[in-house]
Amino acid sequence: MEEKVHTTSCGPIHYWVNHTASNTEYQLIFLPGLTADHRLFDKQIKHFQGKYPLMVWDAPGHAVSYPFDLTFSLFDKAKWLDEILIQEGFNHPVIIGQSMGGYLGQAYSQEFSKKLKGYISIDSAPLQREYFSNIELWMLKRMEPVYRYYPWKLLLKSGSKGTSTSEYGRKLMHDMTMVYDGDQRRYAKLSGHGFKILAEACETNLPFKLPPKSLLICGEKDKAGSCL
């Protein structure tokens, strides 16, 4: 995987791409969830490398895609993603998004429905307004203080155990969270902003229709959040 940088008005986005493939009918686009980074999909990248063109990123503000001005919307992220795909010649993208990555996939489908050839959601709820209560949206916009004052060691522990049942998965989540060790304020701002733009996207009351080729996955043992 070759690391590249896409420059935006808010900061740099680092992403990794591989064009070598025996099947070029589709390109696989891996989008990690909130506070996770490109390492989340290491095993999937290894499995599909050489079979399909691949792309994975550190989302804006995450890991090495920093510093980044957190003033963007979920639709801005979709636009930047599309710019990267155009730059790489990926015109048959299949988005594979985990949690926040899945929400971004829905925003991308809303903005660029004719381009998206497939969608795989891993533990993401629908973005349609009907699935969220008023109190849930109110709370989503006010999560930054929760993460700023949450005990860091407890956050590390609960975060790793709540998102995986395997030793590999728990260690990976721990390692990705440790990127923000010593700077909990950055972690809190990133988390708070992510939940805020999720709520704001929901409040647009757009249809967020998915492509015909869609696969929705919900982990029965996922304790990191709720999927309605």
% of the chain at pLDDT higher than 90: 92
Q: Which of 225 and 61 is assigned the larger pLDDT?
A: 61
223 pLDDT exceeds 90? no
The number of helices, as runs of H, and strands, as runs of E, in the chain is: 8, 7
pLDDT score of 227: 46
Pick the CATH number of 2-217 from 3.40.50.1820, 1.10.3720.10, 3.40.50.970, 3.40.718.10: 3.40.50.1820
Residue with more model confidence, 164 or 224: 164
Per-residue pLDDT tens digits for 157-194: 988 888 889 999 999 999 999 999 999 999 999 999 99
Q: Which pTM value belongs to this model?
A: 0.95
- Has residue 137 got a pLDDT over 90? yes
Structure-token match 């920093």, residue found: 66
Domain ranges for the chain, please list them: 2-217
Q: pLDDT at residue 222 above 90?
A: no
Taking the C-alpha atoms of residue 169 and residue 11, their distance in angstroms, rounded to an integer, is 30
Q: What is the spatial distance between Cα 24 and Cα 215, in angstroms, rounded to a whole number?
A: 20
Find the radius of gyration of the CA atoms of the chain.
Answer: 17
Structure tokens at 38: 């490109």
Alpha carbon distance 17, 57 (integer Å):
9
Taking residues 28-44, report their average pLDDT: 98
